[in-house]
Amino acid sequence: MVRTTKSFWKSSGGIAILVAIIGAIGIIIASLIPYFIGQFQGDKKRVTLAPIGQLEQDLSNANIILSDVNPDQIRKWLRSEPAYHILAQNCLKVMRGMRVNDTVSLDVINSKYRELHGYPPDKYLLPDKYDDMDKLKIAIFTAWKERHSAFPQTSFDQIVEGNN
């Protein structure tokens, strides 16, 4: 007589246990994903973001446009990239209700700020790195000066107007 045995994993009980184990592993991995994303992207959850419409209006009042080339892309980054959003908010802090005497674009300010920190264009600058207000003033001035190289102004204070 030939005795046949059915493998436990091929039985309905074994399959149910296997599905439960795979499900548990999936839940554990899913719960850890936000932690790992935060570690590699500067923990976007901790950033308090202002409404985009109001932020864009405040930038416009300060004579800071989003971009000469692609404002829709910058608008998208303001919505999705905390670093860009913090840059915009800090530009407004630096301006303190004043405005640049001629438009300057946020994307160029970002480029100049990153250069001041020694970051190449292809490297992500974490949101907490956008906190140096002195370098931000230099970046705003440098972005303005790039557009107005023939003008005599030599500092941030010479390109802003309004309530000091």
Count Cβ neighbours within 10 Å for each residue of 101-113 and write b for 16 or more, e otherwise. beebbbbbbbbbb
CA distance 44 to 67: 24
63 to each of 44, 57, 95, 102, 108, how far by Cα in Å? 28, 10, 10, 7, 14
Looking at residue 106, what is its pLDDT? Answer: 95
Looking at residue 2, what is its pLDDT? Answer: 57
The type of residue at 41 is Q
Q: How many CA atoms lie within 13 Å of 30's alpha carbon, on the beta-carbon side?
A: 6
Looking at residue 1, what is its pLDDT? Answer: 54
- What are the structure tokens assigned to 18, written together? 């296997």
- H/E stretch holding 64: strand 64-65
Looking at residue 90, what is its pLDDT? Answer: 94
Looking at residue 45, what is its pLDDT? Answer: 45
Pair 159, 153: CB distance under 8 Å = yes
Looking at residue 67, what is its pLDDT? Answer: 93
CA distance 58 to 37: 31
- What are the structure tokens assigned to 45, written together? 């959850």
CA distance 122 to 119: 8
Looking at residue 11, what is its pLDDT? Answer: 65
Q: Please work out, in degrees rounded to the nearest 5, the angle formed at the alpha carbon of residue 50 by the alpha carbons of 90 and 156.
A: 20
pLDDT less than 50: residues of the chain: 39-40, 42-45
